[in-house]
Amino acid sequence: MLLCGCNLHPAAKRSGLLVAAIASDPGHLNPAITTNGGVHTASDLLYNGLVGLNSKAEPVPELAERWEVEEGGAVYRFHLRPNVRWHDGRPFTSADVKYTFDEVLLRFHARARASLSPALSAVETPDAMTVVFRFKRPYAPFLQQLDVVEAPILPKHLFEGTDPLKNPVNLAPVGTGPFRFVAYAPGAEIRYRVNPDYFGPKPELSDLVLRVIPDRGTQVMALEAGEVDWLFGVPGPLRSTLRRNPSIRFLQTSLSPGGSDCITTLAFNLDRPSLSDARVRRAIAHGLDRRLFLERVTFGEGRAAETSISSMIAFAHANDLKAPAYDPGEARRLMAAAEKGRIKLGFTFFPTDAEYGNLLRAQLAEVGIDVELHALEAPVLVQAVFVQRDFDIALIPYCNGTDPEIGVRRMFVSSSIAPVPFSNAAGYRSAEMDSLFEKAASSLDPKERGRIYHRIQELALEDLPYLPLIETENTRAYSARCEGFVSSSHFAAAARCGP
């Protein structure tokens, strides 16, 4: 067996093949019925949205060639790109867009359903190459919600009349995207081939394989051994060793599979007597050194967050605002003023965030708060925090998306205090905050919206229902024999691999 090992060794690959590691088996490949990051990572390359988002998160033509915004933002008219074909050869038309929105996205894609269904009144198709979206009132963030992550378009001819959750096409997808589906070996790998008829720039790769490797350490070793060419993330402690390897390159991005521009945030449960006191919340904020979290937990990846809107959303992020600075003396003074003595609080977090817990406990002990750690796995945490509201402080990675409407609004408006994952965990209610978000959503002028979001961030730091800790970043790592990657979900569309 060792004899044939030499020519069998997986590192001996032909050029034109890219092997990327993914951590979990996606289960199916239909990005329109879920917001699950694993499914999107494995299926977005097969599909397109009406628009794409460039590296500055600005909308660029994809399935729509151009568009007009009418009636002050209440009507969006898209002119579709002609001669686009599905991977099975059938032409792409406006009927596909209408079907996908009405029958799939607005029913099953949790983000599209939550944000668009209350606002959208109708999807119309005046002709085969035009789609019109009518809203009940002006709706500003729509163009940010049409990329392949938020609104992938499915082929009507393969889905109509079926149950989209059980359609066999979910396991043998037919899209319009830069890659075509070849085979799915459950738990092992998914194989793709380049789409020679792609309307965009043709990928220079010939084949792509997404390989399921659950263990992050094994992923890194597979990259070093040359069995894998691309990793979506590298664990902190392994990053520095990998950086010394001359045959590995890196790409930093704020995009993570679950969403983009995420801020690891402390949510204070305002229903708890001790935390309903603003002085206690402020004391906690002053008691934490956010730079230390950056240093010890994320190993320098990302940056200390100052407000709840990511610095990646340039028009909305307030550069001049700062979260309470590290000042244990001030924290102790505030705790004394709150006259509660030494208090005890629970801290709830995902098991992967255990290091945040250890550091938080050590720092808060200094200012008179004893922290009890509760590591809960994802389905349990979501239930404990958002449904049962049984927590004191929770660590939640809130992803902003490319517009504050997508990921920030849900944290602050009172209508989103509901048993829904990643909603208003704090249970924060403020009439001023609610009306500010209403105004921001219906204005189309970025400057005007920027002013409103500035006030929103100011108010959030005054009331402090949340403490933003770290704006997280991800490190993609890839073999030096390949180049031309981007951080978006079409990461390999322009990639090239040498021998």
Partner 1 sequence: MRGLREFVALRRRRTLRTVSARYLAARLLQIVPSCAAVVVVAFLLIQLAPGDPVLALAGEHGDPAYYAFMRQRFGLDQPLPRQLATYCIRVASLDFGVSYVQGRPAAEMIAERVPATLVLTTTALLLSLLVAIPLGILAGRRPHGAADFAVSALTVAFQSTPSFLLAHLAILGLALGLGLFPVQGMTTAGSPGSGLKHFVDIAYHLILPALVLASQEVAVLARLTRTGLVSELDSDHVRTARAKGLVERVVLWRHAMPQVLLSLVTVIGARAGHLLAGAAVVEIVFGWPGLGRLMLTGLQTRDTPVLLGVFFVISLAVIFANLLTDLLYAALDPRVRYR
Site for partner 1 in 4-23 (CB under 8 A): 4-5, 8-10, 13, 17, 19
Contact pattern for partner 1 over residues 176 through 205, marking x by CB under 8 A: -------x-xxxxx-x--------------
224: contact with partner 1 by CB under 8 A: yes
Q: Judge whether 376 and 384 are in contact, CB under 8 Å.
A: yes
CB of 35 to partner 1, least distance (A): 4
Contact 192, 209 (CB under 8 A): yes
- Residue pair 470/263 in contact (Cβ under 8 Å)? The answer is yes
Per CB under 8 A, contacts with partner 1 among 239-268 are 258-259
From the CB of 232, what's the least distance to partner 1, in Å? 15
Q: Which is nearer to partner 1, 319 or 352 (CB)?
A: 352
Query: For residue 121, which of 104, 101, 140 has the smallest C-alpha distance?
Result: 101
Minimal distance in Å, beta carbon 236 to partner 1?
Answer: 17
158 touching partner 1, by CB under 8 A: no
Pick the binder of partner 1 from 58, 127, 372, 377 (CB under 8 A): 377
Binding characters for partner 1, 90-129, by CB under 8 A (x = yes): -----------------x--xx-xxx--------------
Q: How far is the CB of 462 from partner 1 (least distance, A)?
A: 27
- Our CB check for partner 1 shows the closer of 13 and 282 to be 13
Residue 143 or 411: the one with the smaller Cβ distance to partner 1 is 411
Beta carbon of residue 125, minimum distance to partner 1 (angstroms, whole number): 26
Please report how many Cα atoms fall inside a 13 Å half-sphere around the Cα of residue 302, on the Cβ side.
31
Nearer to partner 1, 259 or 324 (CB): 259
170 part of the interface to partner 1, by CB under 8 A:
yes
Q: Which two tokens stand for residue 352?
A: 């992967």
Q: Is 314 in the site for partner 1 (CB under 8 A)?
A: no
The answer to the question of residue 483 lying near partner 1 (CB under 8 A) is: no
* CB atoms near residue 375 (< 10 Å): 15
Amino acid at the residue 153: I
Q: Which is nearer to partner 1, 21 or 364 (CB)?
A: 21
The residue among 54 and 218 lying less far from partner 1, judged by its C-beta, is 218
Residue 47 CB, nearest distance to partner 1 (Å)?
17
CB of 222 to partner 1, least distance (A): 4
How many chain residues interact with partner 1 (CB under 8 A)? 72
Site of tokens 């208090």: 343
Q: What mask, x for binding partner 1 by CB under 8 A, covers residues 404 to 443?
A: ------x-------xxxxxx--------------------
382 binds partner 1 (CB under 8 A): yes
Contact criterion met (CB below 8 Å) for 216 and 23: yes
Q: How far is the CB of 400 from partner 1 (least distance, A)?
A: 12
Say how many Å lie between the first and final Cα of the chain, rounded: 26
Residue that has been written with the tokens 């390949």 in this structure: 482
Instruction: Specify the residue, 365 or 378, whose C-beta has the smaller distance to partner 1.
Output: 378
Question: Which residues 34-53 are close enough to bind partner 1 by CB under 8 A?
Answer: 34-37
Minimum distance, C-beta of residue 168 to partner 1, in the bound complex (Å): 8
| Closer Cβ to partner 1, 220 or 323, answer by number | 220
**Of 219-227, 269-277, 320-328, 333-341, which segment contacts partner 1 by CB under 8 A?**
219-227
Q: Using CB atoms within 10 A of its CB, is residue 90 exposed (0-12), middle (13-18) or buried (19+)?
A: middle
